[in-house]
Amino acid sequence: MIGVYNYLGGKNLCNIVANITVRKIEEVFPNAETDISVINVGDFFIVKGSTSSDKVINVAQSVQEILKSHNEDLSNKIKVIDTVIYNKPPKDDVLNISFTYSKNIKKYKKTLNEFSKNKTYLNLYIDECNKVIHYCEELFNEKIDKDSILEHFENFNLIEKKYSNDTFISDRFYGLSKCNEKYYHIILMNITHHLFSLLISDYVNISINSINKIDDLDNLNINLNLNDTKCIVKKEWLESLLLDVFPFSVGSLKEYISVDLKNEFEYLIGSEETPYWENVNLAKEFVLL
């Protein structure tokens, strides 16, 4: 089951609140180290975590001001509970990152963004195997035309689902400042994009971890795993190739790719701007046997 949310709903809205908060903190305290998460329970968004910044920001005001240009009703409706601890740098933990991604998510996300432009905000849970879509219409929607959804999902059945009691939590990536860990989230997304673009896989479950500190990591002491990943080559061989092709030390990662909080926000709200992790600069290094 694939969860896909419009940019003002579900987990996506949690990610937007997290990104806005991190950006605002860095605006008033450049180079702040921040690690926060956002939990959505009904109309309440709980922002928790810590930052090295000693300048307290008004999270609710920052979020409402930015969202107002996208949906004024939602901006007025949002209630933020700020529990961020200031003047306390986050702990530098060991690396342990994993995520699952389907090639079709980008296509589904683009479809939802098209609906959103017409003020129709959908959240979908898509069961590709059984051809079933569980959909939810946001409270500020007018009645949804089901046929207009099915035009984009041929041979699927629609089932309405209520999400009013669901809890959503932001992805860790969007609550991090420009710290070293963030580069490892980006490289996993970049690896996934390479695999999709080169038609090696259309579904990736990837993870990296190590017992070493992040500053000491390289391709020799990091563990990379492709679990339940559908690919056209042998999994063990592909894991080894990825470790050889992509950079995994902090220094080489910073040379290869950047961190741009504004670009992340543009991606979340459905901008046409290409995210910086969607490049295939290393495609020529893939020699498939």
Region 133-146 average pLDDT = 67
Residue, of 40 and 117, whose pLDDT is higher: 40
Contact in structure between 78 and 45 (CB atoms under 8 Å): yes
The verdict on residue 87 lying in a domain is yes
Query: Where is the domain boundary, 71, 91, 111?
Result: 91
Segment 205-256, tens digit of pLDDT: 999 999 999 999 999 999 999 987 778 888 899 999 999 999 999 999 999 9
pTM above threshold 0.85: yes
Start-to-end CA span in the chain (Å): 32
- State phi, psi for 36 to the nearest 5 degrees: -130, 165
Q: Could you give the percent of the chain with pLDDT greater than 70?
A: 95
Number of independent structural domains in the chain:
2
Residue 101 falls inside a structural domain? no
Query: In the chain, what percentage of residues exceed pLDDT 90?
Result: 46
Q: Which of 35, 69, 91 corresponds to the end of one domain?
A: 91
Q: Give the model's confidence band at 137: pLDDT under 50 very low, under 70 low, under 90 confident, else very high.
A: low
Q: How many CB atoms neighbour CB 134 within 10 A?
A: 18
**Are the CB atoms for 34 and 52 separated by under 8 Å?**
yes
| Residue 219, CA distances (Å) to 205, 242, 247, 277, 288 in order | 19, 9, 7, 19, 20
For the record, the structure tokens of 163 come out as 């999400």
Query: Does 252 reside within a domain?
Result: yes
Range of 16's domain? 2-91
Q: Would you say residue 256 lies in a domain?
A: yes
Phi, psi of 236, deg, nearest 5 = -60, -40
Q: Last residue of a domain, which of 37, 70, 91? A: 91
Q: What would the pLDDT profile of 9-49 be if each residue is shown by its tens digit? A: 888 889 999 999 999 999 999 999 999 999 988 778 999 99
Within a domain: 112: no
